[in-house]
Chains A and B, each alone.
Chain A
Amino acid sequence: MIKFFKYFTIILTFFGLTISTAYSDPKKVGFIYIGPPGDHGWTYMHDQGRIHMENQLGGAVTSTYIEGVPENADAVRAIRKLASSGHDLIFTTSFNYMDQTLEVAKEFPNVMFEHATGYKRADNVSTYSARFYEGRTIIGHIAGHLTTTDTVGYIASFPIPEVVRGINAFYLAASKVNPGIKIKVIWAFTWYDPGKEADAANTLINQGADIIVQHTDTFAPCQAAEKAGVLAFGQASNQEEFCPNAHLTAIEDVWGPYYAARAQAVVDGTWSSTETWHGMDKGMVVMSPYNAKLMSADLIQEAINMEVAIKDGSLHPFAGPIYNQAGELVVPEGQNADDGMLAGMNFYVQGIDDELPQ
């Protein structure tokens, strides 16, 4: 028995030493994921960002993550665990970690926190998000050209501003090239549920949609579209390999450069609390390669031209005049919707034949 304890202590000391020698020098960066990195969507792209950051900074940082953290009281413990185990910088990568991130940040003033897609900040809490809606403008334009039934199916997650903004940007661009286009929206009330997402896609296809757009995390809708012989857009990452005959393009979230820059700031001691909302111009939103099997060369060129115009600011996804469903002018002609309106957007634009869940 004594022998056993000796053995046990030796092993523990050994591991203790390796951990302390290996991690004493580089900065530790921790990530909280809502799903598994293998979702090939939202979490996958954050994990790609983490790997990019490690490669960029070489030995200056090490990183760890905790996956599948529910957006409830458990999140506090998971975030706190990262903070109390010597992490210097912590990224919490889902909206509903907001209050939990702030709660832990208050207790660890010397640890830096970065919360994705939230709006509450503190001295040691930054927020960051991407202007995904810029990509919605481009896929709206493509859908307007390609639909033959004039019906697009849209799988939405939650009626939060980010998602509503995406639907509006999509519709504004689509109706510009095809004024008769209709959007059918299904609210899945989930970010990650392959079964539910596929069901929603099939329902929309049965209702006559010949293009499927999604604001959920998996490639299940795209696969459902492939099976039914209709078109689809990927979400968060390039999902073409899962549905090569349906996938037109995808709106990719590219976090790597941001993560590398923020980690570098911690290494250099220059980190400060900021609010970041980057789009295509900074490379945080990227369009996947356009599918030449499904799109004409002209249409691909139009999409690329739109990317350029969005980057240089000559095309704004929310350029006036924009009316809401009640017919009231919300953005006058000659103006663009400001970030305040975009951040809190909770209305549909005129022409969308759906009611926002209230």
Chain B
Amino acid sequence: MTNLFPSIVSRPQSSNIMNILVPIIAIILTLITGAIIFSLMGFNAFFALHIFFISPISSAYGISELLVKATPLALIAVGLAFCFKNNIYNIGAEGQLTMGAIFGGGIGIYFHDTNSFWLLPLMIIGGAIGGAVWAMIPALLKNKFNTNEILTSLMLVYVALLILDYLVVGPWRDPEGYSFPKTRPFSDSGRMPLLFEGLRIHIGLIITLILVFISWFVFAKTIFGFQLKVSGFSPIAARYAGFNQKILIYIAFGICGAFAGIAGLAEVSGPIGLLYRDISPNYGFTAIIVAFLGRLHPLGIIFASLIIALTYLGAEDAQLFMQIPAAVGFLFQGLVLFYLLGADFLVKYKLEFKKSK
């Protein structure tokens, strides 16, 4: 007689090939489930999936929009990889993004009537500093008081959003804006230059690709990357090897915050052009899914960011052409994460139906 419930047994060695295949399997399962859901809703599944995943990127504008959406996700997710590889669960990237937008955007507002080539670089540096400073708070609390960074980084998201609220309602409000809660627009030299006329994709894409490449180099080729990995796997081993865990925490948080801050600044000085309270559609949170879907690997993160960005665009097209509620897009994101975690688990563990004695 077999037991009704299997026991969970750790696999001695998880297959390398499977580790790479897991995200692909998760996406295929998501598509199959999506097809079933669409069929149950009374739509032709092929047509629905076509509307969802193909039609949004069947024009140059569509591809540009995909990149506009994927760029901040990829940049933040690569930053998060620095933390997650070291088993530091910074989930406050949304707050670091907001702070980056405030610091960098603040420079843009102060120099709103200046047109000079140094303005944008200054704003980008401001964005990086803003995000990094905000990320230092949970890092400091963790190092000094051993607080749980999941809680502190998350709570600081709401603090950052409230500071932005305060600024756009109060001191930074556009004096010519009928007292509506938004700032003056940045000057032209405070905007991210567009890569192609008529498309919204801007130079932030290039900055992101450079930073992703540098991150790959750091992870794969430097001692620091190795230290991150080792102290993530085994903090005790890392301590014996003489790695300073506290400094690693500061650096990981700092890089992650800086990347999120640049992403926030790129969003406000790219497509938006000024500050108001609703600058990000939760990029900082969605990037957590992107980071894990991409296996914390820079190349994987780029692919993952494109896929998740596509679920947003697809949800809009599905509403327009099929009158499907917006929530379907989030459903797809949830499905991807669900299958990813499930498949991940089964790669590391196996289920055994043991005969009872």
Q: Give chain B residues whose Cβ lies under 8 Å from the Cβ of A96.
A: 182, 276, 278
* Residues 117-174 of B contacting A (Cβ, < 8 Å): 165, 169-170
Query: Are A72 and B280 interface neighbours, CB within 8 A?
Result: yes
Is there a chain A Cβ closer than 8 Å to B277's Cβ? Answer: yes
Q: A70-B278, A159-B179, A346-B179 are in contact. Are A76 and B200 (CB under 8 A)?
A: yes
Q: A72-B272, A72-B281, A344-B178 are in contact. Are A159 and B169 (CB under 8 A)?
A: yes
Is there a chain A Cβ closer than 8 Å to B65's Cβ? Answer: yes
Count of interface residues, chain A, beta-carbon cutoff 8 Å: 40
Is there a chain B Cβ closer than 8 Å to A74's Cβ? Answer: yes
Query: Are A160 and B323 interface neighbours, CB within 8 A?
Result: no
Query: Are B178 and A66 interface neighbours, CB within 8 A?
Result: no
Is there a chain B Cβ closer than 8 Å to A82's Cβ? Answer: yes
Q: When the two chains form the complex, which single residue of A78, A85, A99, A160 contacts B181, counting CB atoms closer than 8 Å? A: A160
Of B15-23, B44-52, B239-247, B346-354, the one contacting chain A is: B44-52
Query: Are B319 and A65 interface neighbours, CB within 8 A?
Result: yes
Is there a chain A Cβ closer than 8 Å to B316's Cβ? Answer: yes
Bound-state CA distance A84–B61 (Å) is 11
Q: Give chain B residues whose Cβ lies under 8 Å from the Cβ of A11.
A: 44, 46-47
For the side of the interface on B, what is the size category? 35 or more
Is there a chain B Cβ closer than 8 Å to A64's Cβ? Answer: yes
Q: A73-B272, A96-B278 are in contact. Are A68 and B181 (CB under 8 A)?
A: no
* Residues 1-48 of A contacting B (Cβ, < 8 Å): 7-8, 11-12, 15, 19, 36
Is there a chain B Cβ closer than 8 Å to A95's Cβ? Answer: yes
Q: A159-B179, A346-B179 are in contact. Are A12 and B320 (CB under 8 A)?
A: no
Is there a chain B Cβ closer than 8 Å to A81's Cβ? Answer: yes
Number of A-B pairs whose CB atoms are under 8 Å?
A: 89
Query: Are B325 and A36 interface neighbours, CB within 8 A?
Result: yes
Is there a chain A Cβ closer than 8 Å to B27's Cβ? Answer: no
* Residues 155-178 of A contacting B (Cβ, < 8 Å): 158-161
Q: Give chain A residues whose Cβ lies under 8 Å from the Cβ of B273.
A: 99
- Shortest beta-carbon distance, B305 to chain A, in Å? 16
Bound-state CA distance A99–B271 (Å) is 11
Is there a chain A Cβ closer than 8 Å to B267's Cβ? Answer: yes
Bound-state CA distance A30–B302 (Å) is 34
Bound-state CA distance A7–B45 (Å) is 12
Query: Are A12 and B65 interface neighbours, CB within 8 A?
Result: no
Bound-state CA distance A81–B50 (Å) is 17
Q: When the two chains form the complex, which single residue of B44, B170, B280, B316 contacts A66, counting CB atoms closer than 8 Å? A: B316
Is there a chain B Cβ closer than 8 Å to A293's Cβ? Answer: no
- Shortest beta-carbon distance, B69 to chain A, in Å? 8
Q: Contact flags (1/0) for B259-285 with A, using CB distance below 8 Å? A: 000000001001111001111110000
Query: Are A64 and B181 interface neighbours, CB within 8 A?
Result: no
Closest Cβ neighbor of B181 among chain A residues = A158
Closest Cβ neighbor of A77 among chain B residues = B65
Bound-state CA distance A107–B313 (Å) is 20
Query: Are A81 and B276 interface neighbours, CB within 8 A?
Result: no
Please name 5 further chain A to chain B contacts, defined as beta carbons within 8 Å, in addition to the given A11-B47, A36-B326, A77-B65, sorted by A numbering.
A66-B320, A73-B271, A85-B320, A160-B180, A189-B165
Interface residues of A (CB under 8 A from B): 7-8, 11-12, 15, 19, 36, 64-68, 70-74, 76-78, 80-82, 84-85, 95-96, 99, 107, 119, 158-161, 189, 343-344, 346, 357-358
Closest 8 CB pairs of A and B: A73-B271, A346-B179, A68-B326, A71-B278, A70-B281, A344-B178, A66-B319, A72-B278
